[in-house]
Amino acid sequence: MNSKITLVELARLMAQATSTTSRVCELFLRELFATVSQALIDGENVKIKGIGTFKVTAVKPRKSVNVTTGDPMEIKGYNKVSFTPDKKLAEALNQPFAQFETVFLNDAVSDEKLAEIDAHYPSAFDENNVDLTQSAVSEELNQPVNAPEPIPEPEPVPEPIPEPEPVPEPEPEPVAEPEPEPSPEPLMVPEPELESVADEEPVGQKALAAFGVPVSREKEQEPPVLSREEQVQEASAPVVEHEASPVVESAPEPDDTDDYFYRPAPRNTYTPTQEQLTKYRSSKNRRWLWLLPALLLVGVLIWLFARGGGKGESAQEGAVIEMADTIADVEEPAVITDTVTTKIVLSTLSDKYYDSPWFWVYIYEENKAIINDPNNVPPGTAVVIPPAEKYGIDASDPASLKKAQRRSWEILTQGKR
Amino acid sequence: MDNKKLVETVAANLGRTTEDVGKLIDALSGVLSTRCGEMDTVVVPSFGAFEPKKRNERVMIHPSTGRRMLVPPRVVLTFKISQVLKAKLK
């Protein structure tokens, strides 16, 4: 990362790739560059296959003035070397940005609007030479189309929050409405995610700081993760309560329970829990419906039904305990793991489990603790395959795909300048 | 000097076959591509430095249609000539 590679190290790396000694490689490198230098000095253009073309161009002498004395002077002509990288090499280097295309701006996008966006992402234009405004701008431009509704923080959302499209659309919609800023803002409000940013290694943090824009983007992206964590925490809390006091009536405040149980299930495994609860609720209603006519009928029947109710209650207890068990099971879902080999990389796994190689990012995020560089996962690493629902993975959904693509772009460029 | 002639010259000077030299050039290209892909600079003494640089995205006007375009950011490989070679070239 931004380090300098010397000739010796270059020779060592080449030796690894060619199974020769680094001495041979070093001699070769010296000879190669000496030959190229000599050819350039002789005024020849040199083309090296797989690397590029070196061209010598003569710069004519030109007249100028001495800035201090104001005397006219002449700048001598000299030979200039220009380098054009080989097409393949250039493409390989530009790989992180290969998915982007030049976008025509709509006439409705005024210069003021662009300036506004610039002002909103000031650090994107600093001298850091780092700029991710591409997506930032197109994000803004696209927002009126699918402005994500602000999601209240307390309500954990199992599905990742719909986000503005990261990849520039070929035809951005005219931006006529006022800045739809409020949407990202509420997402940025929760401060806790700063911790998660801070938790990352200093390098990543520095990179984020250097990026400027990605930090805010990161903020937008963090909340889903956070809410998931919260959800897990919340989910575990009621479980403990249930186990401590099996009777439902003494469970935490009804709101909380409702909130918990009627939240859309993030994983399939939650569904039985919901069913059980619905069953339990309906049985409760039925009991009361039965008790009313029973009161009107005979005392014995009342007594009988009361006993039936008691039975029902014990059955409820059983159901609750069972429910708690199910939830406890959900806490440790069946973990799918797979192993990275020389042939199988993250994207291969993603293709295998999610039908699209783009979702490797989520496997990487799930295994961030053990994977340093997603491009270079040591063979033999066992990785956890997250359930598709956790990250809203859906190969048939273009929005989900785009989100993954954008995330991968972010991950791949994070450590770079 | 084209690639063929360069390979032949280098092979003759090193006393190696052109196949060997071709393989070494391929390896050099591969190393450049991976290391520069990680934004590392490859420095060759008294020749120059291969430095990948990130170009910012920018708004430019299409020369013929006059429409404004948003040009995406990209990573390019630049070559900065060493002062030694630069002096020799003058």
Residues 4-33 of B with CB under 8 A from A: 6, 9-10, 13-14, 16, 21, 23-33
Q: Would you call A40 and B35 a contact, using CB atoms and an 8 Å cutoff?
A: no
Report which residue type is found at B59: V
**What is the pLDDT confidence band of residue B2, given thresholds at 50, 70 and 90?**
confident
> Higher-confidence residue: A123 or B40?
B40
A133 touches chain B (CB under 8 A): yes
Say which residues have a Cβ less than 8 Å from residue B13's Cβ, sequence separation at least 6.
A31, A35
What's the pLDDT score for residue B58? 84
Interchain contact, B3 vs A134, CB within 8 Å: no
Chain A CA closest to residue B41: A4
The whole-angstrom distance between B83's CA and the closest CA on chain A is: 12
Q: What are phi and psi of A72, to 5 degrees?
A: -65, 140
Q: What is the pLDDT of residue A168?
A: 43
* The domain over range B41-90 is classified in CATH as 4.10.520.10: yes
Identify all chain A residues contacting B79, using CB atoms and an 8 Å cutoff.
52, 54, 81, 83
pLDDT on residue A305: 58
How high is the pLDDT of residue A306? 64
Give the residue among A215, A140, A212 at the shortest CA–CA distance from A179.
A140
Reading the block at residue A323, the tokens are 């429910």
Contact status of A96 with chain B (Cβ, < 8 Å): yes
Chain A contact set for B70 (CB, 8 A): 102-105, 134, 137-138, 168
Min distance A18 CA to chain B CA atoms (Å): 7
- Calculate the alpha carbon distances from A77 to A60, A87, A91 in Å: 5, 31, 34
Run means of pLDDT, 10 residues per run, chain A, 417 residues:
84 86 88 90 88 90 90 88 90 85 78 74 47 43 41 40 42 40 39 39 39 38 40 42 42 42 42 50 58 62 60 49 48 68 77 82 82 78 81 80 80 64
CB contact under 8 A, B59 and A114: yes
CA gyration radius, chain A: 32
Q: In chain B, what are the domain boundaries?
A: 1-38, 41-90
Domain boundaries, chain A: 7-97, 111-228, 241-331, 336-414
pLDDT at A365: 82
Side by side, the strands of the sheet bearing B41-44 are A4-5, B41-44, B48-55, B74-81
Q: What is the DSSP string of A169-234?
A: PSSPPP--S---TTTHHHHH--TTHHHHHHHS-HHHHHHHHHHSHHHHHHHHHHHHHHHHHHHHHH
- Paired with A104 in beta bridges are B69
Tell whether the torsion through CA atoms of B4, B8, B10 and B15 is positive or negative. positive
Query: What is the structure's pLDDT at A150?
Result: 40
3-state secondary structure of A311: helix
Contacting residues of A for B85, CB less than 8 Å apart:
37, 40-41, 81
Helix (H) or strand (E) holding A359: none
Q: Which residues of B fall within a CB distance of 8 Å from A80? A: 89
Q: Looking at this predicted complex, what is its ipTM?
A: 0.91
The whole-number pLDDT of residue A171 equals 42
Instruction: Determine, for residues A14 and B44 on separate chains, whether the beta-carbon distance falls below 8 Å.
Output: no
Whether B7 has a pLDDT exceeding 60, the answer reads yes
Q: What is the pLDDT at residue A290?
A: 62
A&B contacts, CB < 8 Å = 202
Q: What is the pLDDT of residue A83?
A: 92
Q: What are phi and psi for residue A49, nearest 5 degrees? A: -65, 135
| Interface touch B33/A7, C-beta < 8 Å | no
| pLDDT beyond 70 at B71 | yes
Q: Which fold has domain A7-97?
A: HU Protein; Chain A (4.10.520)
Q: Which residue, A194, A107, A184, A190, is CA-closest to A139? A: A184
pLDDT at residue number A95: 84
- Confidence (pLDDT) at A285: 59
